[in-house]
Amino acid sequence: MLKTKLNLTVASALMVGGMVAVLSTSVQAAPVTVLNTTLQMYDSTGAVMGSPDNTVTMTYDKTAMTWGTSSSQAFFGNVWTASGGVLYNPGTYNVNINGDGSNEAAYNASYPLANGDGIYTFTVPAGHYGGNINFAWGTTTGIDVFIVWSTDGITSMDVDGDSIRGAKMVDGPFAGASANFSNGPAYVVPVPAAAWLFGSGLLGLVGVARRRNKAAA
């Protein structure tokens, strides 16, 4: 009888432990939304363009490797939207930026990551995340933005080696400017307190069951 009770306790512990593991995994894998992040633009000389937008909402899904961003604040007179966001792990990528509404302008030597063929080549260093997303601004769509976030996930880095954060856009009305978003996908978001309390409660039930079995023995 004692052996049966102990086996039941072990089975219960394994089941609860599995539930906690699944809970933890599901929390970590779920899309993360970060409010009040910042969009900052720089022109081709590195000068700030307009005022930073601190009302941006960003969402990351590191399982699907997608991301999105939005804001209700106008930028140079027009509200912008974004779609088709893709996240990139470390590596070098060739991305087709044509055919989505805005095509690459003619070759410009000051845009080192594109050569006029509609293919944008960029590298994400080890320990970083990269991103590409299409913007619509006014009547213009398919404005490609490329970003590489720092290891702390809070700031975007210089992507094309011009000592300006971000990467020069090569299509759309802001060609030559760099768009930057704070709080990238490596940004650590705490697990909700309710999840930890739930997990702690389950482990507490295991402890109670073990004490009862010991007392019965």
How far is it, in rounded angstroms, from Cα 72 to Cα 15? 46
Domain boundaries, the chain: 2-28+191-216, 32-181
How far is it, in rounded angstroms, from Cα 36 to Cα 183? 9
pLDDT more than 70, % of the chain:
64
| pLDDT at residue number 83 | 93
Of 5-9, 110-114, 126-130, the range with the highest mean pLDDT is 126-130
For the stretch 141-183, pLDDT in tens is: 888 899 999 877 788 999 888 889 998 888 888 888 999 998 8
Burial of residue 148 (CB within 10 Å: 0-12, 13-18, 19+) is buried
Q: Please state whether the predicted TM-score (pTM) of the whole model is above 0.95.
A: no
**In the predicted structure, residue 52 carries a pLDDT above the cut 60:** yes
Pairing of strands 32-42, 119-124: unpaired
* Weakest-pLDDT range from 70-74, 83-87, 101-105, 146-150: 101-105
* Weakest-pLDDT range from 108-112, 125-129, 137-141, 193-197: 193-197
